[in-house]
């Protein structure tokens, strides 16, 4: 099975995106090479590449950028020498490794492939319901079968994902019964066709709309992909200081989505006919914490 045939099988598994023009493409390598094994990871860090080499994998499927830019084009397109990029490419070329990014297609699934992994490995699949009330991003409401302390959920996230620490707002002793897993609260709304507005005619902010969960649906805890400090985090901090039972966990973008790539290693052997070894390689927590 060639590397290209592996990716063709992955694309058949995913929903078809007509006229797709996005970031899902090869970042390096030769698709015509015979595939010796597949490593899946959130990000193709140097350690991920080294572990893929140890496992004799010449294909790495990742979810996030390879080349340190938002466009994530193959190659280095800036007008200065990037020694880190050059050394990383030399390592990949030396071992004949191809990297293919699975981002847009992963999120096109219903349910979303990344969310599904988070729910599965946190044990929340049976208690999660998608909420279509907001069209801005996929999100789920999870009603736990029994109340849990915030501290217990923090420990579970830390151990399941493999984190060095977790930033949160709230009281570890507080009780959580209902939580929301939501998208990235890191962008301002853009005007344009289909943009949603409030009753004043102002563009709706996704982060502000998530406050509605706390206020109207009795949500105790929100786990967003990313946050901006002056929106939802500031609201939750004030709520906590007013004595309300509210909490926010900010895992960071890569950490929040990590379990989605762990889930990829579950379905990939089936779609490739079980003919290749598949390894999930954690990207590991990007940050250390000095306290």
Residues 265 and 167 in one domain: no
* pLDDT given for residue 136 in this prediction: 60
Residue 289 inside a domain? The answer is: no
Q: Look up the pTM and report it.
A: 0.94
Give φ, ψ of 98 to 5 degrees.
Answer: -100, 145
DSSP structure class, residue 205: P
pLDDT digit string (tens) for 241-262? Answer: 999 999 999 999 999 999 999 9
* pLDDT given for residue 190 in this prediction: 72
Residue 290 inside a domain? The answer is: no
CA distance 89 to 83: 10
Residues 101 and 204 in one domain: no
Residues 165 and 113 in one domain: yes
Residue 62 inside a domain? The answer is: yes
Residue 120 inside a domain? The answer is: yes
Residues 148 and 212 in one domain: yes
Residue 207 inside a domain? The answer is: yes
Q: Do the Cβ atoms of 259 and 18 come closer than 8 Å?
A: no
DSSP structure class, residue 260: H
* pLDDT given for residue 135 in this prediction: 64
- Domain span holding position 52: 3-107+261-280
Residue 286 inside a domain? The answer is: no
Residues 223 and 242 in one domain: yes
Helix (H) or strand (E) holding 27, with range, is: strand 26-28
Q: What are the residue ranges in the chain where pLDDT is below 70?
A: 134-137, 192, 194
Residues 73 and 123 in one domain: no
Number of domains in the chain: 2
CATH code, domain with 37? 3.40.1390.30
Size of the chain in residues: 291
Residue 115 inside a domain? The answer is: yes
DSSP structure class, residue 204: P
Residues 240 and 119 in one domain: yes
Residues 117 and 240 in one domain: yes
The rounded radius of gyration (Å) of the Cα atoms in the chain is 20
Residues 268 and 245 in one domain: no
Residues 62 and 77 in one domain: yes
CA distance 184 to 224: 6
Residues 155 and 127 in one domain: yes
Residues 157 and 245 in one domain: yes
Residue 288 inside a domain? The answer is: no
């Amino acid at each position: 099975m060639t590397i290209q045939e592996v990716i063709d099988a992955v694309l058949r598994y995913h929903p078809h995106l007509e006229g797709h023009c996005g970031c899902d493409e090869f970042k390096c390598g030769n698709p015509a090479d015979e595939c010796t094994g597949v490593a899946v990871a959130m990000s193709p860090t140097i350690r991920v590449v080294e572990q893929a080499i140890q496992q004799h994998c010449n294909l790495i499927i990742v979810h996030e950028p390879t080349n340190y830019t938002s466009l994530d084009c193959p190659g280095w397109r800036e007008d200065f020498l990037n020694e880190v990029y050059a050394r990383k490419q030399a390592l990949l070329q030396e071992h004949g490794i191809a990297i293919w990014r699975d981002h847009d297609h992963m999120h096109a699934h219903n349910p979303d492939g990344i969310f599904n992994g988070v729910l599965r490995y946190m044990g929340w699949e049976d208690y999660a319901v998608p909420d279509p009330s907001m069209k801005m991003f996929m999100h789920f409401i999870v009603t736990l079968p029994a109340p849990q302390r915030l501290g217990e959920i923090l420990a579970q996230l830390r151990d399941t994902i493999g984190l060095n620490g977790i930033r949160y707002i709230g009281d570890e002793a507080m009780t959580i019964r209902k939580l929301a897993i939501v998208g990235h609260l890191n962008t301002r709304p853009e005007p344009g066709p289909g943009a949603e507005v409030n009753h004043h005619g102002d563009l709706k902010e996704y982060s502000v709309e998530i406050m509605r969960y706390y206020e109207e649906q009795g949500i105790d805890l929100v786990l967003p992909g990313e946050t901006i400090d002056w929106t939802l985090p500031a609201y939750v901090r004030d709520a906590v200081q007013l004595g309300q039972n509210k909490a926010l966990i900010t895992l960071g973008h890569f950490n929040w989505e990590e379990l989605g790539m762990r889930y990829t290693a579950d379905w990939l052997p089936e779609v490739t006919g079980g003919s290749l070894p598949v390894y999930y390689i954690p990207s590991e927590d990007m940050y250390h914490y000095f306290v």
